[in-house]
């Protein structure tokens, strides 16, 4: 009987550990972004997607963005 009750506690402990690790990773990334430590990577990603842009998909995404933003003067 104790073995059956210990299993949910172990799963909860594992889930809590994963949640804390994810939170710590998020805090680390947020700190790096705030310091500007990710600017080179952001610029490289932006450059890649700018050069490999799909015009039709871009037009659809802009239209969806405008439709859902509630903007009236576009």
pLDDT score at 1 = 47
Question: How many domains in the chain?
Answer: 2
pLDDT score at 42 = 92
30 lies in the same domain as 46: no
Confidence band for 11, pLDDT divided at 50, 70 and 90 = confident
Q: What is the mean pLDDT of residues 40-55?
A: 92
Residue 56 Cα distances to 49, 60, 68, angstroms: 14, 6, 19
Quote the domain boundaries for residue 6: 1-37
9 lies in the same domain as 33: yes
Count of beta carbons in the 10 Å neighbourhood of residue 38: 13
Q: What is the mean pLDDT of residues 15-42?
A: 94
What's the pTM?
0.53
Q: What is the mean pLDDT of residues 3-25?
A: 85
CB 66 within 8 A of CB 74: yes
Looking at every residue in the chain, the average pLDDT score rounds to: 87
């Amino acid at each position: 009987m104790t073995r059956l009750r210990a299993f949910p506690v172990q799963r909860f402990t594992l889930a809590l550990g994963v949640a804390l690790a994810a939170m710590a990773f998020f805090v680390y990334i947020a700190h790096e972004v705030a310091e500007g430590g990710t600017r080179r990577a952001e610029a490289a990603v932006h450059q890649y997607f700018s050069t490999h842009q799909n015009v039709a998909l871009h037009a659809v995404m802009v239209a969806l963005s405008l439709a859902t933003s509630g903007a009236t003067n576009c």
